[in-house]
Chains A and B, each alone.
Chain A
Amino acid sequence: MSGATLFDKIWNAHAVADLGDGYALLHVDRHLLHDLGGGRAVMDIKEKGLALRNPGLTFATPDHAISSAPGRAGTSETGKRLLNDLRTLSHEYGVRLFDVGEPGQGIVHVIGPELGLSLPGALIVCGDSHTCTHGGMGALAFGIGSSEVTHVLATQCLIQRRPKRLRVSFEGARAAGVTPKDMILYLIGRIGAAGGTGYAVEYAGGAVRALELEGRLTLCNLSIELGAKMGMVAPDDTTFAYLAGRDFAPKAELWDEALAYWRRLPSDDDAVFDREERIDMAAVAPQITWGTSPEQVIAVSERIPDPAGIADPGKRRAAEAALAYMGLAPGTPIAGTRIEHVFIGSCTNSRLSDLRAAAAVAKRGKVAPHVRAWVVPGSETVKRQAEAEGLDRIFRAAGFDWREPGCSMCLAANGETVPRGERSVSTSNRNFVGRQGPGARTHLASPAMAAAAALAGAIADVRTFGG
């Protein structure tokens, strides 16, 4: 019999009951609530007359609907009500809340790893599709819908169908200017936005092993943009070094127990995956999206594709519609395309390493006069650390706005939008029609590429950008 994969080991360890036909009742180790749906979900079990089964495994923080303006000015009445509901219900049910202004607050997928709540071998869910981010810790983590959130609150379990297993091996070394964001965007461009549908993805290979922990979180974050609701990286010494000493990570003899357990998690040498993909890192350059799906992506040095050259009729029509929406002409180089907005933030790219990479570019010049450029740190802790090393001053001196932590303009749930017809380079995860606001045109890229675009006032190749 062949060995088990990382995914199999975690799945099997959480199966409370086999429901037949590949379905299992799975135990949830960490349930994260946010302001958009958290209060509503707790209210839901209250109305149904149910108990919150394990409040001690449930954690909450506001991120989606709060303003990122200094002092949180401009949080809407609705946003305030959602925050208030989250506070009241967390208190009533004994759920630990990381509130505005205190360490621990931030984007759910930034604070989980940062606090040491997200652990290797854990099963983590949240009513947000980018929960796959926590897979970078070696956890099995995935996004769920509102009904499933209610289900977890009431039972601490979830009914799921076992997905197939896909291993993506990134072999070789990253070239200069190539970041984890570029690796995952390149993969999505190669196998498509539906390429991972129905799979749990394990990212492997030398280029993944070489990544720092935060880079692994970025890699796993875009699994859902690949169609896969779960993405993961095997835990190793990088993971353990990151976790050691974090607030909610196990301590003393529990740390030793955990470590012994975690070291057994990586896929066995003879484990078999349902599918394998291999990416040669020599082919991966800094990426930028040109369309309205993350699969519509090219290297920044390339030209905007001509739909006439796309054989598949569905992809061709999608490309035509995307170019019309994006206001782009086929065949022209994408570098040099004028932009009006830059957003550096989101659960994809708002961690300290992201801000350092962006600041390294920002210090080389000034934001172009016609560009509004925002930096929104992923958490209160990231914000404080960045300020302690002076990154905020670099950004401000270059003309960036330095803002309060939250989801902000990634999805515009708090009213922070890119105006209709205007163009943004964003370090977030979705370039969908209207994602950053009705009619907004979004290009996804890495933090360094976004900073270069802010200074150039146009899409720019970070490798050749002089500032």
Chain B
Amino acid sequence: MDKFTQLKAIAAPLLRENVDTDIIVRIERLVGATFRNELGRYAFEAWRLRPDGTEDPDFVLNREPYRSAQILLALDNFGCGSSREGAVWALKQRGFRAVLAPSFGDIFFNNCYQNGVLPVIMPNSAVQALARQVEADPGRKLVTVDLVRQVVVAPDGGETAFAIDRLRREALLDGLDDIGLTLKRESEIAAFQAQDRARRRWIWAVETGR
């Protein structure tokens, strides 16, 4: 998995609530998709493109300098809805490595960590304040997301600390893969299953037929 330590980049304000994963990437772009690296161009297509296929100049990600943003500023419940991990792949391919929002869809939140994308939980007021600074001079006002120090640094130098679970932080900093970590616990899993087969025989009966 890609590591995440520190990122200083353009931040795009997408100040909407309840941005769902269907809007981040449409399902038909994922059906049978073999190459995850082709998904970036489909990110937010219902908002980026008008029905005739041309870009909507009013949409934030179609404006400079936000086309090359790597940080997304969002509101409550970002990534709600469908469990499709393609939403994270599409964001990442589009260049985003961090999303700052007051809350996230639970499944999307987990999916981010599986792909080296950092979801940062920040109060609504802090996200809005960041957006105001960025919008005042979008070309030069970069935002820093520092996972080592667990702070977001605003363009004016103001710092907001954020919390992150130790397990998730360490995995991102070291680029660790969950499967690799769990496979090391094979003996514990085997012991659990052996006990459980005796304790809950009824759950295991499906293994041997009806």
Binding site for B on A (CB under 8 A): 13, 16-17, 19-23, 25, 27, 29, 36, 48, 50, 53-54, 56-57, 64-65, 76, 78-79, 81-82, 117, 119, 121-122, 127-129, 142-148, 150-151, 154-157, 159-161, 163, 193-194, 197-198, 224-225, 227-229, 247-248, 250-251, 254-255, 257-258, 261, 293, 295, 314-315, 317-318, 321, 411-413, 415, 420, 430, 432-435, 438-439
The answer to whether B115 touches A147, judged by C-beta atoms less than 8 angstroms apart, is: yes
Q: A413 with B27: in contact, given A194-B77, A254-B202, A254-B205 (CB under 8 Å)?
A: yes
Closest Cβ of chain B: how far from A288's Cβ, in Å? Answer: 18
Q: Whose C-beta in chain B lies nearest to the C-beta of A127? A: B83
Count how many chain B residues have C-beta atoms less than 8 Å from C-beta atoms of the other chain.
60
The answer to whether B80 touches A261, judged by C-beta atoms less than 8 angstroms apart, is: no
In residues 33-82 of chain B, which contact A (Cβ within 8 Å)? 46-47, 51, 75-77, 80-82
CA distance A316 to B152 in the complex (A): 28
Q: Of the candidates B83, B86, B88, B178, which one forms a contact with A129 in the assembled complex, judged by CB atoms under 8 Å apart?
A: B83
Chain A residue numbers with a CB within 8 Å of B148 are none
Q: Of the candidates B17, B31, B166, B196, which one forms a contact with A413 in the assembled complex, judged by CB atoms under 8 Å apart?
A: B31
The answer to whether A248 touches B167, judged by C-beta atoms less than 8 angstroms apart, is: no
CA distance A315 to B17 in the complex (A): 8
CA distance A156 to B179 in the complex (A): 11
Closest Cβ of chain B: how far from A433's Cβ, in Å? Answer: 5
B111 within 8 A of A: yes
Q: Whose C-beta in chain A lies nearest to the C-beta of B208? A: A56
Q: Of the candidates A57, A81, A247, A295, which one forms a contact with B18 in the assembled complex, judged by CB atoms under 8 Å apart?
A: A295
CA distance A412 to B27 in the complex (A): 8
The contact sample of 22 A-B pairs, CB cut-off 8 A, is A16-B185, A20-B167, A27-B193, A48-B179, A78-B32, A79-B32, A142-B107, A145-B88, A155-B183, A159-B182, A160-B110, A194-B103, A197-B106, A224-B107, A227-B106, A229-B107, A251-B205, A254-B201, A430-B20, A432-B20, A432-B23, A439-B51
CA distance A261 to B186 in the complex (A): 27
Chain A residue numbers with a CB within 8 Å of B136 are none
CA distance A117 to B207 in the complex (A): 11
Binding site for A on B (CB under 8 A): 15-18, 20, 22-23, 26-28, 30-32, 46-47, 51, 75-77, 80-86, 88, 103-107, 110-111, 114-115, 165-167, 178-179, 181-183, 185-186, 188-189, 192-193, 196, 200-203, 205-208, 210
The answer to whether A157 touches B31, judged by C-beta atoms less than 8 angstroms apart, is: no
CA distance A244 to B76 in the complex (A): 43
The answer to whether A146 touches B185, judged by C-beta atoms less than 8 angstroms apart, is: no
Chain B residue numbers with a CB within 8 Å of A227 are 77, 80, 103, 105-106
The answer to whether A155 touches B51, judged by C-beta atoms less than 8 angstroms apart, is: no
Q: Of the candidates B84, B202, B206, which one forms a contact with A56 in the assembled complex, judged by CB atoms under 8 Å apart?
A: B206
CA distance A306 to B23 in the complex (A): 24
The answer to whether B189 touches A156, judged by C-beta atoms less than 8 angstroms apart, is: yes
The answer to whether B210 touches A248, judged by C-beta atoms less than 8 angstroms apart, is: yes
Closest Cβ of chain A: how far from B180's Cβ, in Å? Answer: 10
CA distance A159 to B31 in the complex (A): 27
Q: Whose C-beta in chain B lies nearest to the C-beta of A315? A: B17
Q: A143 with B165: in contact, given A16-B188, A148-B110, A159-B178 (CB under 8 Å)?
A: no
Q: Whose C-beta in chain B lies nearest to the C-beta of A96? A: B206
CA distance A251 to B81 in the complex (A): 37
Closest Cβ of chain A: how far from B79's Cβ, in Å? Answer: 10
The answer to whether A155 touches B189, judged by C-beta atoms less than 8 angstroms apart, is: yes
The answer to whether A155 touches B182, judged by C-beta atoms less than 8 angstroms apart, is: yes
Chain B residue numbers with a CB within 8 Å of A412 are 27-28
The answer to whether A318 touches B17, judged by C-beta atoms less than 8 angstroms apart, is: yes
Closest Cβ of chain A: how far from B75's Cβ, in Å? Answer: 6
Q: Of the candidates A64, A251, A434, A439, which one forms a contact with B22 in the assembled complex, judged by CB atoms under 8 Å apart?
A: A434
